[in-house]
Each structure stands twice: as structure tokens, then as C-alpha cells.
Homo-oligomer: A and B are copies of this chain.
């Protein structure tokens, strides 16, 4: 049974494991103050083309989101998020557990726009309601859609006008930046958002997310927050070693391109076969709409999530590819699917 359930089924890219092995017996400072972490941070700054950012390495997405957002906000300040936002739905109230309300906005394609933001601002007018302060977006979104540079510029402008912070969840940022429709760079992000993270867990690391804090006022004392939230590994070097390896030869992007390539292959073949999709998603998650009978047949050989019923006889499924997805398996899947038509 081959799995298209997610992009964290396998371990790490072998080069990362090799680097961990090779450096294993070097004694290093703890808690991210080692040389590998420093080298990784310098390298990422160079990739971003901006020295005036602070970078911290954390272990996972929920951890990064809750640590960053709770560090950035005062108690009465709230987050604006699309109704599909990961922090809103799939993090077991991690943000609320730090005391902050998330204001949900219904959106069609997982993406927030300035109109959504302004509607929230218009309805939050006094101290009897929370104060919207941070706009949370993901790129790609939880349903695979991506932001263009122009869209992000508009949101950035809106945030600046209304004194809002803009935070980008980049759990799958590699896939977004390597998507065929992407026109954003890491450098752009550093100028257009106040903080974002570069996801490692879902793109070839054992675990690890690199949080990039761009706005000066958010930088102070961030390591205190990491420690307080249990987000500072004693052996911080294992994050540093991995991120250094991910970025030193652009392995990170190479893996994301592979993941996207596999998704493209699936998307193209499914399109050719006449299938529609639940949402336009140019990244490594696709949501084809299939007859229920075919879904149930495919599930005998492949693992993937049934996402939502579409009509009496059809459902959308979620297929996720990754750095580790094998082209053979993708082709086999397509072949099997064709046989079922």
C-alpha cells in the first residue's frame, strides 16, 4: 500500500541523516547556540538577501505558530484567519490556550484578501470586543492554493494602513515558492510579511521549522518565549545541521520541486482523464473529484484522505506528494486509476 496521505510519512533526506552522523561526536553548545545553528542562520539570511532578520529554529509547525503568535501579541489582541486556517482548525486550540481569540473569516479558496480583513476591522470597534492585530495566512494554504506577489502586496498594504501584523505559516513554503504559478521569493517575503517560517518537517527534514522575524519590534527576547513554550531543544544543533544541509546547495528547493513535479503529474493526468478539482491548487496537495466507487477501489492499493462529499456519487480526495514520492508509484496510481474508468 503506497501512501499519498501526507508529506511527512518518510524520514529525512539521506543527506541530512549523513550530516547528522558525520557531526555526531562533535561537542556543541546546547539550546541553539552551537556553530551549526549559527551557520544555518547565516546561510538562510544570505538566501533571503537580508541580514536584518532574526531567525530561530524550532521543531514543528504548531509549536512555531503558538510560540511566535503568543510572543507577538498583547492579551487582548486577536488573530484574523481564513476559516480553513490550520491554527483555527487543526491545532487543538493551541493559540487560544495562550489566551488569544482567532477571528474566523469564511473564504472560498483558503486565501484571505484585504476585503476580508477590512470586514473584520469594521465589526470590531470597541473594547467590548477583541482587537484584531495579526493577520495569519499560510502559503500554500491548507487546501493547496498559493498567494501571488500582488495579492501579498495588497495584504501588506492593508496591514500597514491598519497597524496589523502579517504572519505567514510556511509549513509547506517550499512547495509554494516552487509552484509553477509562484512569483514570490524569500526576499519578497522578508519585505512583505512581519514574520514567516520556512517549513522543514514537510519538506525533507526529520523535523524543524526556521522562523524568520522581519519586523524589529517583534525580535526582542524571542528566545525566552521559545524556552517558555518548550520549543528549545537541548541538542539544538540537530536543527542547525539539518537546515544548513537543506540550504547549502538548495536541496530544500530541489525537494520541493520534486514534490510539486509529482503533484503536477497527477494533476495533469487527472485533468486529461476528465476529472475536476475541488479547488485550484498549484502546490503539492491536489483535491480531485472522483466517483465514490473508484475511490473505494483505489483505497485498496493506495492510502489517501477522502476530503469531502461533493454529490451523491462523488467525493473530493486529497493527494499529497513530497520530496520522497516515487515517480513509479505516481505512474502506477495513474495506471490503476485509468483501469478503473
Q: Does A121 contact B (CB under 8 A)?
A: no
Q: Is the CB of A94 within 8 A of B201?
A: no
Q: How far is the CA of A324 from the CA of B26 in the complex (A)?
A: 10
A280 vs B100: C-alpha distance when bound (angstroms): 34
Instruction: List B contacts of A75 (CB < 8 A).
Output: 70-71, 97-98, 225, 228
The reply to whether A14 and B24 contact each other, CB–CB distance below 8 Å, is yes
In the bound assembly, the distance between CA atoms of A10 and B23 in angstroms comes to 8
Interface presence of A279 (CB below 8 A) = no
CB–CB A17/B14 < 8 A? no
Q: Does A221 contact B (CB under 8 A)?
A: yes
The chain B residue with its CB closest to the CB of A100 is B96
- Determine whether the beta carbon of B233 is less than 8 Å from that of A60: yes
Query: Shortest Cβ distance from A300 into chain B, in angstroms?
Result: 16
Using Cβ atoms and an 8 Å threshold, which residues of chain B touch A70?
A: 75
> What CA separation (Å) do A100 and B102 show in the bound complex?
11
Q: Report whether B17 and A224 are in contact in the complex, using a CB–CB cutoff of 8 Å.
A: no
- Contact check, B93 vs A230: say whether CB atoms are below 8 A apart: no
A130 touches B92 (CB 8 A): yes
Q: For residue A3, which residues in chain B have a CB less than 8 angstroms away from its CB?
A: 27
- Contact at A128–B8, with CB atoms within 8 Å? no
Q: Are B92 and A127 in contact (CB under 8 A)?
A: yes
Contact mask for chain A residues 107-133; partner B; CB cutoff 8 A; 1 contact, 0 none: 000000000000000000001111100
A97-B24 in contact (CB<8A): no
Q: A11-B238, A71-B74 are in contact. Are A128 and B60 (CB under 8 A)?
A: no
A5 to B30, CA, bound (A): 10
- For residue A34, which residue of chain B has the nearest CB? B9
Residues in B with CB closer than 8 Å to A238 are 11, 206-207
Which secondary structure characterizes the binding site on chain A?
A: loop
Residues of chain B lying within 8 A (CB to CB) of residue A324? 25
Question: Which segment of A61-69, A143-151, A186-194 sits at the interface?
Answer: A61-69
CB distance from A168 to the nearest CB of B (A): 18
Chain A interfacial residues counted at CB < 8 A: 78
Question: Does A104 have its Cβ within 8 Å of any Cβ on chain B?
Answer: yes
Interchain CB contact under 8 A, A93 and B78: yes
**What per-residue 1/0 map shows which CB atoms of A13-35 lie under 8 Å from chain B?**
01001001101111111110000
CB-CB contacts below 8 Å: A239-277 with B: none
Given A234-B201, A235-B8, A324-B25, verify A96-B99 contact (CB < 8 Å): yes
A238 nearest in chain B by CB position? B206
- A257 and B127 CA atoms in complex are apart in Å by 32
List 21 contacting pairs A-B, 8 Å CB cutoff, sorted by A: A6-B30, A6-B234, A8-B30, A8-B234, A9-B27, A10-B26, A11-B21, A11-B237, A12-B20, A62-B232, A63-B230, A67-B230, A70-B75, A74-B221, A76-B93, A90-B129, A91-B228, A92-B227, A202-B234, A207-B233, A230-B231
Q: List 12 additional contacts besides A9-B29, A59-B59; criterion CB under 8 Å.
A: A14-B21, A60-B232, A60-B233, A66-B230, A75-B225, A78-B93, A93-B101, A94-B229, A97-B228, A131-B221, A201-B234, A230-B231
Interface set of A (CB-CB < 8 Å, partner B): 2-3, 5-6, 8-12, 14, 17, 20-21, 23-31, 59-67, 70-71, 74-76, 78, 89-94, 96-102, 104, 127-131, 201-202, 206-207, 221, 223-235, 237-238, 303, 324
